[in-house]
């Protein structure tokens, strides 16, 4: 069966260099995976080609949109026929991918790096966003981590999926405040899950510290935009790590509560920042870089009982 060609008006608007590359990308989209029926693949692609070219025309940069769409298709590898079938059966799925491909190189790279989440994006496209289902979102993430025992991978998948869902609604005209609320809820969920499993890991090795017969407590305080629920694309997370003072670990009595929570803090930061989920900035803690990474409630009270710079107070009041 003869392959479809990219419409000439699209090729012309891209220019010579990009136009030539676009022709090759459009042809690549029609190449079957290993053991796939080329006739069936061609049939499925023909069914979406018209809507795809229309989405390319509507994008600000048709070549970039086509390149990103091809990147997503390549990520599904040998499953192109079922992938195209989903787009045929529900044109909304194709519109969603067209949005991602046409408006965000960043999101297209994220989605193509985790092709397993594409199906979940299709399933959840009409669902409430992260701020409206924060409890169930955390429970789902917790369950996936427990099932796979891969904290890093599942946190990354959760972020990619939910960030894509937020961006799609954003492109559909969601008010900026709602976008920020959803992004902030997503970050809160990921930090909460990372904290849970950082505590579990350290508890298994050292035992959670006890203070006067009660389990020692730890909290992550959100400051700045995180504290006010105003995160945007690319925001870092301004935080303060706070723990009860004193205590010794129940399995290793030569380890103090301060040591336990410092290790938890390090693991939490590694899970979030080491896997490029978010940048963690803890410099708003008392005395900034010169102060302890994990502070106590007593330290916080003493620090804020004295006059501080206006910028620092503003960051805390958010």
DSSP code at position 254: T
- Whether 107 and 164 have beta carbons less than 8 Å apart is answered as yes
**How far apart, in whole angstroms, are the C-alpha atoms of residue 80 and residue 87?**
11
Instruction: Judge whether residue 315 has pLDDT over 80.
Output: no
Please give the average per-residue pLDDT across 105-110, as a whole number: 87
Of the CA atoms within 13 Å of residue 151, those in its CB half-sphere come to 20
Angle 274-65-72 from CA coordinates, rounded to 5°: 50
% of the chain residues with pLDDT over 70: 100
- 293: exposed, middle or buried (C-beta count within 10 Å: 0-12, 13-18, 19+)? middle
The more confident residue out of 107 and 46 is 46
Count the Cβ atoms, other than its own, within 10 Å of residue 19: 17
Q: Report the pLDDT value the prediction gives residue 179, as an integer from 0 to 100.
A: 96
Quote the tokens at residue 122.
């299709």
CA distances from 79 to 11, 37, 43, 44, 252 (A): 28, 11, 15, 12, 51
DSSP letters of 280-307? EE-TTSTTGGGS-SEEEHHHHHHHHTS-
Please give the average per-residue pLDDT across 258-284, as a whole number: 94
Dihedrals phi, psi of 164, to nearest 5 degrees: -65, -45
Q: Report the pLDDT value the prediction gives residue 277, as an integer from 0 to 100.
A: 93
Average pLDDT over the chain reads 91
Each residue's pLDDT tens digit, 208-236: 999 989 999 999 999 989 999 999 998 99
Q: Report the pLDDT value the prediction gives residue 1, as an integer from 0 to 100.
A: 58
% of the chain residues with pLDDT over 90: 63
Please give the average per-residue pLDDT across 21-25, as a whole number: 93
CA distances from 292 to 132, 288, 311 (A): 35, 8, 21
Please give the average per-residue pLDDT across 239-268, as a whole number: 95
Which pLDDT band holds residue 303 (cuts at 50, 70, 90)? very high
DSSP letters of 59-80? SSSHHHHHHHHHHHHHHTTT-H
Quote the tokens at residue 242.
């706070």
Q: Report the pLDDT value the prediction gives residue 149, as an integer from 0 to 100.
A: 85
Residue identified by tokens 């025992």 is 149
Rounded to 10 deg, the angle between the 134-148 and 151-171 helix axes is: 150
Sign of CA dihedral 100, 102, 103, 106: positive
Residue identified by tokens 């994006």 is 121
- Whether 110 and 163 have beta carbons less than 8 Å apart is answered as yes
Which pLDDT band holds residue 48 (cuts at 50, 70, 90)? very high
Cβ within 8 Å of residue 311, ≥6 positions away: none
**How far apart, in whole angstroms, are the C-alpha atoms of residue 318 and residue 313?**
9
Strand 294-296 and strand 237-243: the pairing is parallel
Q: What 3-state DSSP class applies to 36?
A: coil
Closest CA to 29 of 40, 48, 45, 14: 45
Each residue's pLDDT tens digit, 168-190: 899 889 999 999 999 999 999 99
Instruction: Judge whether residue 195 has pLDDT over 70.
Output: yes
CA torsion angle 224 228 234 238 (round to 10): 30
Count the Cβ atoms, other than its own, within 10 Å of residue 232: 11
Closest CA to 239 of 268, 204, 274: 268
- Whether 101 and 108 have beta carbons less than 8 Å apart is answered as yes
Which pLDDT band holds residue 110 (cuts at 50, 70, 90)? confident
Which pLDDT band holds residue 166 (cuts at 50, 70, 90)? very high
Instruction: Judge whether residue 42 has pLDDT over 80.
Output: yes
């Amino acid at each position: 069966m003869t392959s479809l060609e990219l419409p000439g008006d699209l090729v012309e608007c891209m220019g010579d260099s990009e136009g030539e590359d676009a022709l090759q990308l459009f042809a690549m989209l029609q190449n079957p995976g290993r053991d796939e029926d080329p006739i069936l693949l061609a049939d499925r692609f023909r069914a979406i080609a018209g809507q795809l070219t229309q989405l390319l025309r509507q994008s600000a940069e048709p070549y970039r949109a086509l390149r990103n769409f091809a990147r997503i298709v390549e990520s599904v590898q040998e499953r192109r026929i079922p992938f195209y079938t989903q787009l045929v059966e529900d044109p909304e799925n194709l519109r969603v991918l067209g949005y991602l491909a046409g408006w965000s190189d960043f999101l297209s790279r994220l989605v193509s790096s985790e092709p397993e989440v594409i199906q979940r994006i299709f399933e959840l496209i009409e669902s409430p966003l992260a701020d409206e289902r924060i409890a169930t979102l955390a429970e789902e993430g917790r369950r996936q981590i427990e099932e796979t025992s891969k904290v890093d991978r599942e946190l990354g998948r959760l972020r990619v999926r939910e960030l894509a869902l937020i961006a799609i609604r954003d492109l559909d005209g969601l008010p900026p405040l709602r976008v920020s609320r959803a992004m902030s809820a997503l970050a809160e969920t990921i930090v909460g899950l990372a904290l849970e499993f950082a505590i579990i890991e350290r508890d298994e090795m050292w035992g959670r510290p006890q203070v006067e017969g009660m389990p020692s407590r730890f909290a992550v305080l959100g400051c700045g935009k995180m504290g006010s629920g105003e995160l945007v694309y690319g925001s870092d997370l301004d935080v303060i790590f706070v723990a009860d003072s004193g205590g010794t670990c129940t399995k290793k009595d030569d380890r103090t509560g301060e040591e336990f929570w410092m290790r938890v803090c390090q693991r939490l930061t590694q899970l979030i920042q080491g896997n490029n989920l978010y940048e963690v900035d803890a410099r708003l803690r008392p005395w900034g870089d010169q102060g302890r990474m994990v502070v106590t409630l007593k330290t916080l009270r003493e620090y804020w009982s004295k006059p501080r710079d206006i910028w620092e107070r503003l960051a805390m009041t958010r």
